Structure 1
Amino acid sequence: MATEALGGLSPIEAFACVGVAGVGAQWLAWRFRLPAIVLMLAAGLILGPVTGIFIPSRDIGALVPPMISLAVAVILFEGGLTLSFKRLADARPAVRRLVYVGAPMGWALSSLVLHYGAGLGWESSLVFGGIMIVTGPTVIGPLLRQAKLTSRPAQTLQWEGIVNDPIGAMVAVLAMVGVTVWHSDLAIGRALAEFGLGLGFAAALGVAGGVLLVRVFRRNWVPEYMKVPLLFVSVLAVFAVSDSILHESGLLAVTIMGLVIANADLPSYYEMHRFKEHATILLVSGVFILLAAGIEFDTLARLDWARTTLFVVLVVCVARPLTVLISLIGTNLSWNEKILIALTGPRGVVLVAVAGIFAERLVENGIADGEQIAPLAFVLVLATVLLHGFTLKPLASKLGLTSGEKPALLIVGGSQFSTGLAAALQRAEVNVLITDSNRDHLRGARADGLPTFYGDILGEAAENNVEFLAFGAILAASDNDAYNTLVASDLGPEFGRDSIWQVARHKEDRARHALPSQLGGQPIAGNRTLAQYLDMLAEGWAFRTTRLTEEYTLEDWHEARPGAVPLVIVDPDGEGLRMVAPDDEFEFVPGMRIVSLLPPDLVERISNEAEAKKTEDQKEKARDQAEAVRKNNGEADYQT
């Protein structure tokens, strides 16, 4: 076989292989708009059981279990950092119900499905059932963007994934610790006592570690550049100490430590959060490649595929719908929204990572069917990701819960420039939304019937009321340069730097006013300030939308519109748009539409030509109608 022929990789080659495969799969997923987890699964299977290039047990050996354990600890700590009690209290009632009612009900129903459907014992069912509460926050985001759901179901699904991520892991940890103590040689009373002491120690250690770090950060006992490294090593230390007292309790300790830090309102929280996101991407990629490469086809072959299929069907068609529909009784969601949420529950990387490590622990405790958890997790993840990846958009469209197929631009800042651009974009069949925290700035847009949002786009009100998932690009064009830069910098990581644009700042061309390249958005054509654009409009410049065809090409457009400033290009298929950058030489595609600013003389000439054509059309129409009347009345033909 390929395994024997290659002879294995050195540890350094193995680590490089895991990194390249994991990050490469995530990049390909982003590039081709595919679920990253599917490509990582394919990459791991190809490297491992298919070709034998990388076999974790052979090439890394004893390092595999501790590496996965530490990676899962950081992943769960990241989950704890996302769980702010304040934001949960402010979340929609539907999200709270899915947490308070849905999580325990999901655990119970999933355990029943695993026991009676997949045929697992109660110990394995309770542990794996807890993990199955997690609905894949790393998977649901890309699916929601692709489907372009309306606000309420999209935010409910997204928040459910974020909040239930650490809760599902904690439930699984508790179940695993219980199983470990139960299968020890201790008497029941002493086993329960050690179980309680172990959990109490883990919880206390997590709280103490979080409180200590918060105090250290608040009192500036460490410099800013050392906060993230200190956080990282603290996670590893808390995990190791707690795990040495009671197996698997370290995962509970680091999750609780993340909760404490998330709710401390630290000034450095966002910097830590972004670093944590980057670390999590690397760790998730690595864990998934390790687990997929370690899968053996013999293990998959030993699965009872009739029971496995029944298990997946029961999860998708019974356990998930029942959990959601019962949890959402009495909420303000419509039946269509409840049905969509009930039929959408993709599982992700966290499920596979945690299932893989707990499977080994169950086998170590003498529970033979624990070895089925990892392959069952792979099957469930693959089935749900593929199922929802192909059905979510058609289902949402059928239920009338999509934001439409049109491209969309969110414009921050209400002004005559924003209003004119938005109106021109609407003529190009682009959805727009103008936002501003000053109500007076939105009067013109409202008078023209344009969609608006009154409030701070970075505030919680916008998070609850603006359908961010519906917008593919953002233009920061308020009257405050600093706020434009803040908006572009804050939303850039979420939307992508290539989708964030900004009008030029006052004096930005001077060295003392220049900003680092990582701040702000991309400049638009002309690289003018908002004041300069408004001056142009005051001088008589006007927005126009032009559609190019095979007969009317880009060269014809340039020739007919000398001095025009192209601002936005709308794709011919109507699926996307992009702002035109300074000195951007865009290519001609038949059907594309150009939104541009035209100089006053050109506006007047085109208007005169349009009026003349309109008059000529009216004359021709009148002649045709007169001729038709005369024929109908039998009058003699004559020239008017």
Structure 2
Amino acid sequence: MAVETAAGALDPVAAVALVGALGVGAQWLAWQLRMPAIVLMLAVGVIAGPVLGIFDPQRDIGPFYLPMISIAVAIILFEGGLTLNFHTLRDAASGVKRLVFIGAPVGWLLSTLALRYGAGTTWESAAVFGGIMIVTGPTVIAPLLRSARLARRPAALLQWEAILNDPVGALAAVLALEVVIVLNTAEQFAEATWTLVWGITVATVLGIGAGYALSWAFRRAKVPEYMKVPVLFVVVLGVFAVSDLILHESGLLAVTVMGIVIANANLPSYEEMRRFKEHATVLLVSGVFILLAASLDFSALSQLTWRSILFVIVVLSVVRPVTVFLALYFTDLPIREKILVATTGPRGVVLVAVAGLFGERLIGLGVEDGALIGPLAFILVAASVVVHGFTLAPVARFLKVTAAEVPGVILVGGSYWTTGLAETLKKAEIPVLVTDANRGHLRRARELGIETFFGDVLSEGAELRVDMAGYKIVVAATDNEAYNTLVATDLGPEFGRENVYQLAREKAANARHALPSSLGGRTFAGNATYNELNRLMWQNWTFRVTRLSEEYRMKEWREKRPEAKLLAFIDTAGEIHFIGKDDEVAAGPGVRLVSMLPPGEAETVSEDQKPTSEKKG
């Protein structure tokens, strides 16, 4: 039986499908255009919603609209908690504590003052909304960090602050709302305080208890492997719902604590769970932003005045910088990192969702300007997303707090061949790291001044000591084919499977030894094996970097170098691309080819005589 819908309304199933298509489509388009995904999602939602009227969440989805957002935010915060392993804090620990314990109350106070004297709201609305404004939005920070490629410490500071302050901000707003309720009703202050303390305590205990219980069950195989993720989801929703029944919005604290407990439990199946949650979070972030942008009411925005614009400017240019500098004043963090954190404070989903809910509650209490909280929240989110979305990466580059100007290459295995390739890439100004568990294999690379890591690239030590954000490509090139496959398989989800390579396996063509396509990385260099490449090195083959030009094109290079083994090319932006099977070479002027040449061809005076600045042939 068909479901009847109002005139012009979408069927609920079609509406949900449209949200997914718009959200994921916007993220994909942003990736193609190399622009901040959050900005594009916001624009797509506004165009589909209030501008064209194609989609209205309240009309098309109905009463499930707000619960969907609440559940999505809970799962997003839980996944954020799963990323907060205490080992990743290291030297950022002091800064994170200060941003939470000092920055949160200072930010609350300054935000309240900005609302009262900037936007002109009453003290009641200012205190409640000021508490919500503590949050900096993990739903926004995560995509921004992914595209900006910051250095490890400032990235950790922003990520931890965003995730920890989200529930703190929601609870601060709850506290302020309880005070407003006491002042506007007959409710006793002691009773309101007890409700708040009881709710926070229960939320914390629930989160810790559920986290430890799940960790115990997973570690002792009380839950089969195929049911771990479903059980995880059900427990997250249960903890969120129970905690919210006791104190509204305390569920955010409970699921965040639960995620942190599981992240630090050192579970064998943790990585699989975390990656699945990351995929779910990408979908949820896309969906929530589309829903919130599409539900924007332009008539509500008409209530805003020039003071609202002043309020946004004050928050971005005064409140955030002052809060961060006061919180980090006595730390030994470099001034460049303090400036970056101080100028980066995008707001996100939790701010809009909680602000809309509390605005309605204030109206119910007789605080008329509670109606301004929703529109103020939206323009603050929109402004901060656009400003930080377009400025974070340039500001980070200007302050020199990015992982690297040019994405680098990790070469796993300190062989004769990888050392030669690393030397060539270094001369071509490509960041390169050689890793090996045998210190002797790294001796030659260290003598050449090449950056090295002694240890297993999959170890916790590598995660703590190697700034993975500075590298784009991984090449597994040890003499152990099984280990190469393990490295490529494990690092594939983190770097993208299109950026993870391994040397071809000796017996890969044999059906008895063939591996599924889901295992291992891409092969390159014409499916060359470890033994083949190192044999060429002992036969005095050499590496060359050749620049193409209008006069010296790919065709001429091929004619002069018929036996050359082409490994990669460096585009005009300075990024390196290894050449796998069926990959096309962007062989335009200015592109540099990285290859191996036999002795006879290498000795010929030609275009290839110097690694990075060749003459015409």
> What TM-score, normalized by structure 2, do the two folds share?
0.89
Cα distance in structure 2, aligned partners of 1:402 and 1:246: 41
1:627 is aligned to none
Distance 1:348 1:605 in 2: 60
Aligned partners of 1:99 and 1:457: how far apart in 2?
A: 32
Residue 342 (structure 1) shift: 2.0
Does 2:591 correspond to 1:592?
A: yes
Alignment of 1:525-540 (within 5 A): 525-540=525-540
* Equivalent residue for 2:156, pick from 149, 153, 159: 159
- Pairing of 1:226-305 with structure 2 (within 5 A): 226-304=227-305
Q: Retained in 1: the 8 A contact 2:300–2:375?
A: yes
Residues 109-168 of structure 1 deviation map (CA, whole Å, 9 limit, x = unaligned): 33332333233444444444344333344544554565555xxxx323321232223322
Q: By how many angstroms is 1:566 displaced?
A: 0.4
Q: Secondary structure at the match of 1:45?
A: helix
Asked if the contact 1:35–1:139 (Cα under 8 Å) also holds between the matched residues in 2, the reply is no
Report the Cα offset of residue 593 of structure 1: 0.9
Instruction: Provide the residue aligned with 1:543 in structure 2.
Output: 543
Cα distance change on mapping 1:97 and 1:460 into 2, 3 Å: farther
Residue deviations 1:176-234, cap 9 Å, x none?
43355442653333333333333333333333332332232222222111111111112
CA-CA distance at 1:27 after TM superposition: 1.2
**Partners of 1:525 and 1:583 within 8 A in 2:** no
Whole-angstrom distance in 2 between the partners of 1:261 and 1:363: 40
State the alpha-carbon separation in 2 of the partners of residues 360 and 269 from structure 1: 40
Superposed CA offset, 1:306-353 (max 9, x none): 222222222222222222222333433333332233223333444444
The answer on whether the counterparts of 2:118 and 2:311 sit within 8 Å (CA) in structure 1 is yes
Per the alignment, residue 632 of structure 1 pairs with none
1:422-571 alignment runs, 5 A limit:
422-571=422-571
CA distance in 2, matches of 1:482, 1:550: 44
CA distance in 1, matches of 2:319, 2:254: 29
1:62 corresponding residue in structure 2: 63
Q: Deviations over 1:418-466 (max 9, x none)?
A: 1211222234342323233333222212222333333443445544543
Determine the C-alpha separation between the residues in 2 that align with 1:592 and 1:532. Answer: 27
**In the superposition, relative to structure 1, how do residues 34 and 283 fare at CA in structure 2: closer, same or farther (>3 Å)?**
same
Unaligned regions of 5+ residues in structure 1, if any?
612-640
What secondary structure is seen at the aligned counterpart in 1 of 2:520?
A: coil
1:41 match? 42
Cα distance in 1 for partners of 2:25, 2:604 equals: 53
In the other structure, the counterpart of 2:18 is: 17
Task: Give distance in 2, aligned partners of 1:354 and 1:503.
Answer: 51
Distance in 1 of aligned mates of 2:503 and 2:608 = 32
Root-mean-square deviation (Å): 3.0
Do 1:95 and 1:156's aligned partners in 2 also have CA atoms closer than 8 Å? no
User: After TM superposition, which residue ranges in structure 1, 4 or more long, deviate above 6 angstroms?
Assistant: 607-611
Match runs of 1:121-132 below 5 Å? 121-132=122-133
Task: Give the counterpart letter for 2:418 in structure 1.
Answer: S
Q: CA deviation at 1:53?
A: 0.8
Which residue in the other structure is 1:215 paired with? 216
| Secondary structure in 1 matching 2:172 | helix
Partner of 1:638: none
> Secondary structure at the residue paired with 1:171?
helix
Tell me the residue number matched to 2:319. Answer: 319
Between 373-382 and 39-48, the greater mean CA deviation after superposition: 373-382
Q: Which runs of 5+ in 2 are unaligned?
A: 611-617
Seen in structure 2, the aligned counterparts of structure 1 residues 356 and 76 have a Cα distance that, compared at 3 Å, is farther
Matches within 5 A, 1:176-187: 176-179=173-176, 181-182=178-179, 183=181, 186-187=187-188
SS at match of 1:19: helix
Structure 1 residue identity aligned to 2:286: S
Deviations 1:66-109 (A, max 9, x none): 11122122122222323334544664543443344333333333
SS in 2 for 1:552: coil
Q: Cα distance, 1:23 vs. partner? A: 1.1
Choose 69-78 or 293-302, whichever is displaced more: 69-78
CA distance change for structure 1 residues 326 and 480 in 2, over 3 Å: closer, same or farther?
A: farther
Please, which moves more after superposition, 578-587 or 12-21?
578-587
Shift of the 416–372 alpha-carbon distance from structure 1 to 2, 3 Å rule, reads farther
Instruction: Name the SS for the 1:510 alignment partner.
Output: coil
Partner of 1:581: 580
Whole-Å Cα distance in 2 between the matches of residues 105 and 483 of structure 1? 50
1:569-622 deviations in Å (ceiling 9; x for gaps): 111x234221011354435311211111112332344589969xxxxxxxxxxx
Please state whether the residue corresponding to 2:266 is helix, strand or coil: coil
Identity %: 56
Quote the residue 1:617 is aligned against: none
Matched residue type, 2:169: A
Letter in 2 for 1:55: D
The range that moved more, 227-236 or 382-391, is 382-391
Moved more, 281-290 or 170-179: 170-179
1-side partners of 2:170 and 2:552: how far apart? 65
Larger mean CA deviation between 170-179 and 26-35 belongs to 170-179
Q: Classify the secondary structure of the residue corresponding to 2:66.
A: helix
Note if contact 2:170-2:354 (Cα within 8 Å) is conserved in structure 1.
no
Q: Identify the residue that residue 416 of structure 2 maps to in structure 1.
A: 416
Question: How many Å separate the matches in 2 of 1:277 and 1:400?
Answer: 29
Count of residue pairs the alignment pairs up: 603
Select the structure of larger CA radius of gyration.
Answer: 1
Q: What pairs up with 1:356-435 in 2 under 5 angstroms? A: 356-363=356-363, 366-401=366-401, 405-435=405-435
Shift of 1:363: 4.5
CA contact (8 A) 1:169 1:354 kept: no
Alpha-carbon distance between aligned partners in 2 of 1:478 and 1:50, rounded to the nearest angstrom: 56
Moved more, 120-129 or 47-56: 120-129
